[in-house]
Amino acid sequence: MSFEPLKQVTSKTLVLPATNIDTDQIMPAKFLSMTTKAGLGEHVFANLRYHADGTKTDHDLNSPEGQASQILVAGHNFGCGSSREHAPWGLTDYGFRVVISSEIADIFRNNSLKNGLLPVIIEKRAHDWLLDNPGADVTVDLDKCEVHLPRNGGTYGFEIDAFSRHCLMEGVDEMGYLQNQSDAITAFEASR
């Protein structure tokens, strides 16, 4: 479950301003019956991107600019609801490396970190600016934990725990880390 290391991302943003976008909207349940992860990018936000007959809508997510974007800006409380990891799998397969919102739900945030998708929770002023400026050229710097907005939009810090930051920047996953704790786990089991 390895991914490309993520240190800095510069991209035009794609903005979905709705609040409380749940993981059912990100990846509808009918796409959860796969037993692999392949191709989920085609189904991400399916209800926004496709008509009932399967033809594409004119949503930004279907435009060449959207397809090229690596930074998704979303309304408050993004990723709430179901724990389906198919949501971040779909977003990364589509091409996103960063999701920015003023609040991101716990399980989604946690799942994103494990798939090379950086969840950035940013203060309201910067969030408002991003919502008002779709397609802006934004740089997210994980080394400095900063988001740089263009056109004098300013620079804003964000928080991420040291361990998750390390894993994202080095492209390491947690399985190996846990495997290395095998002796401690065995000792714990013996002590109970």
Partner 1 sequence: MTSRNSKTLFDKVWNRHVVVAETETNPATLYIDLHLIHEVTSPQAFTELKTRGLKVRRPDRTLATIDHSTPTRINADGSRPYVTPQAETQVETLLANTEAHGIETHGWDSDNRGIVHVMGPELGATQPGMTIVCGDSHTSTHGAFGAIAFGIGTTQVGHVLANQCLLMPKPKTMAINVNGELPSGVTPKDVILHIIAEIGIGGGTGYALEYRGNVFEQMSMQGRMTVCNMSIEAGARCGMVGPDQTTFDYIEGRKFAPENFEAACEDWLSLCTDDGAKFDKEVDIHAEDIKPMVTYGTHTGMGISIDSLIPAAQSDADQAALDYMQMTSGEKIAGTKVDKVFIGSCTNSRLEDLRAAASIFKNNKVADGVTTIIVPGSVITKYQAEEEGLDKIFIDAGAEWREAGCSMCLGMNGDIGAPGDLVVSTSNRNFMGRQGPGVRTVLASPETAAATAITGVITDPRKMGAAA
**Interface positions with partner 1 (CB under 8 A):** 1, 18-20, 22, 24-25, 28-30, 32-37, 47, 52, 75-77, 80-85, 88, 103, 105-107, 110-111, 114-115, 161-163, 166, 173-175, 177-179, 181-182, 184-185, 188-189
- When the beta carbons of 18 and 68 are compared against partner 1, the nearer one is 18
DSSP 56: B
- When the beta carbons of 67 and 83 are compared against partner 1, the nearer one is 83
Find the helix or strand (DSSP H, E) in which 88 lies.
helix 86-94
45, 73 contact by CB (below 8 A): no
CB of 76 to partner 1, least distance (A): 7
CB of 146 to partner 1, least distance (A): 20
CB of 69 to partner 1, least distance (A): 23
CB of 154 to partner 1, least distance (A): 25
The set of long-range contacts for 39-45, using a CB threshold of 8 Å and a minimum separation of 24, is: 39/93, 40/86, 40/89, 40/90, 40/93, 41/90, 41/91, 41/92, 41/93, 41/94, 41/95, 42/93, 43/90, 44/87, 44/90, 44/91, 44/93, 44/94, 45/16
- When the beta carbons of 34 and 68 are compared against partner 1, the nearer one is 34
- When the beta carbons of 32 and 145 are compared against partner 1, the nearer one is 32
14, 126 contact by CB (below 8 A): no
Question: How many CB atoms within 10 Å of residue 71?
Answer: 25
CB of 127 to partner 1, least distance (A): 14
- When the beta carbons of 28 and 148 are compared against partner 1, the nearer one is 28
- When the beta carbons of 117 and 147 are compared against partner 1, the nearer one is 117
Question: How many CB atoms within 10 Å of residue 169?
Answer: 15
CB of 110 to partner 1, least distance (A): 7
Separation CA 172–CA 180 (nearest Å): 13
